Structure 1
Amino acid sequence: MRFLRDDGHLARLLGRLAGGALPPLPPAAAAALVTGVLLAAGLGAATGITLFAPVAALLLAGAASAHPHGGRHDPLAVPLLRGAEYLYLLALGTGGGVPGPLVFVLLVVVALHHCGTVCRARQGAGPPDRAARAALGWDGRMLLAAAGGALGWLPFAFGALTGYLAVLLAYGAVAGWARTPVADLADTGDEPGGAGASTT
């Protein structure tokens, strides 16, 4: 369950420093709340207070990344982190002058990455593979977008992040297909009623 959080390197580092002692739901809820408040205070524009939101979310939610997530309500941390990331990218992109189609495509690519993580969990595939781990995590993606806004390169940052994630998704899909064994086709030509059965 813990890998469904899609934590990046910085969040996992904070989790190791905290030793897994923090329960995941309260920090994730606080991170989502703080992100929403900072976005509302900055009116979604690429201002200093808005650009600080990923740092606040990372410091709050990242420290709980090493928790086993075995509690009854611990899985609720995952949609809270997802919502905070989607809301941040949407608000920052629309308020920072990024073309609407580019913001939409980035959100779709991130959502597809999250869907892939969930599908792996349902199929019992275990933790994310190398391509999924290279997707920077929710914290890395938010920080990269914030850095682009701070440098005045927000459209470029959104475009680069979209292209990078799209390449990772394509690579992960091809690699997954290559690892999937192809079932031998049953030869039904000589079976009664099969394609090769006599009609006389």
Structure 2
Amino acid sequence: MRFLRDDGHLGRALGRLAGGALPPLPPALTAALATAVLLAVGLGEVSGITLFAPVALLLPAAAASGHPHGGRFDRAVPPLLRGTEYLYLLALGIGAGVPGPLVFVLLTVVVLHHCDTVCRTHRGTGRSGRTARALLGWDGRMLLVAAGGALGWLPFTYGALAVCLAVLLVADSVREWANTPVARPADVPRNERGGAQASTT
């Protein structure tokens, strides 16, 4: 469950400082609701508070990354964090006048990254440590976008982040595909539907 959180460097560091004492669901839920209200109020006016307040509100949720996430409702935490990131990227991009296709591309790449993370969990495989660190985590991506907006480089930040994430995901998928052993004929199930000795009638 903690693997699905997609925490970045800051989130993991805060989790180590908290020592797993902070329950993950309450801060994630509170931050998601507060971020939604804040972005709705400041959607048409991109300012310092609109840029950085959502990230600050999520810091307690990041500090809960060290918790075991063994509670009954803790499985709701990753969707809450992801939904907050999507909302932030969408609202900030629209409010700052970032071209719609660029906002869509960045959101699509982030969603694909999260889908790939879930698929890897089911397959029992993980990313290389270098790639996982380069993807920045939800906290790192939100901070990077906020900094780009503060500097007036938001369209460039959206485009550069989308390209970097896409390159990392494709390269990691190619690496995993290249390292996957090819099944030999002896490994194919026999006497089964579609197997090596399946009937052709």
The alignment yields a C-alpha RMSD, in angstroms, of 2.0
- 1:156 is matched with 156
Q: Say whether residues 1:184 and 2:178 are aligned partners.
A: no
Task: Please state how far the C-alpha of 1:33 moved relative to its aligned partner.
Answer: 1.4
Deviation at 1:41, TM superposition (A): 2.3
- Equivalent position of 2:128 in the other structure: 129
Shift of residue 44 of structure 1? 4.9
Per-residue deviation, residues 31-65 of structure 1 (Å, max 9, x unmatched): 21121122122125421221123432332211100
Q: SS at 1:20's partner residue?
A: coil
Q: Which moved more, 1:44-53 or 1:71-80?
A: 44-53
Please say if 1:59 is aligned against 2:69.
Answer: no
Aligned residue for 2:192? none
Indicate the residue corresponding to 2:72 in structure 1.
72
Residue 105 in structure 1 maps to residue 95 in structure 2? no
Which stretches in structure 1 are left out of the alignment for 5+ residues? 189-193, 196-200
Matched, 1:172 2:172: yes
1:11 aligns to what?
11
- 2:43·2:92 contact (CA, 8 Å) conserved in 1? no
Q: Which residue in the other structure is 2:90 paired with?
A: 90
TM-score (norm 1): 0.89
Equivalent-residue separation in structure 1 for 2:58 and 2:7 (angstroms)? 10
Q: Report the Cα distance in structure 2 between the residues aligned to 1:163 and 1:99, rounded to whole angstroms.
A: 15
Paired with 1:187 and 1:56, the residues of 2 have a C-alpha distance of: 53
**Amino acid paired to 2:133:** R
1:39-54 equivalent positions in 2, closer than 5 A:
39-54=39-54
Greater Cα radius of gyration, structure 1 or 2: 1
Sequence identity (%)? 72
The 1:185–1:14 alpha-carbon spacing in structure 2 relative to 1, beyond 3 Å, is same
1:129 shift after superposition: 2.5
Question: Does the Cα contact within 8 Å between 2:23 and 2:67 map onto a contact in 1?
Answer: yes
Asked if 2 retains the 8 angstrom alpha-carbon contact of 1:45 and 1:91, the reply is no
Contact in 1 for aligned 2:24/2:67 (Cα 8 Å): yes
> 1:107 Cα deviation (Å)?
0.4
Q: Which amino acid aligns with 1:96?
A: A
1:12–1:66: 8 Å Cα contact kept in structure 2?
yes
Comparing 100-109 and 52-61, the one that deviates more: 52-61
Task: Give 1:94 shift.
Answer: 1.0
* Distance in 1 (alpha carbons) for counterparts of 2:107 and 2:146: 15
The residue type paired with residue 157 of structure 2 is A
Deviation, 1:187, is 11
Query: Matched residues in 2 for 1:7 and 1:57: separation?
Result: 15
TM-score with structure 2 setting the length: 0.88
- Opposite residue 98 of structure 1, the aligned amino acid is V
CA distance in 2, matches of 1:150, 1:161: 16
Query: Would the alpha carbon gap of residues 173 and 38 (structure 1) be closer, same or farther in structure 2, given more than 3 Å must change?
Result: same
1:132 and 1:114 map into 2 onto residues whose CA distance is 12
Q: Which amino acid aligns with 2:21?
A: A
Amino acid at match of 2:12: R
Structure 2 residues without counterparts, runs of 5 or longer: 189-195
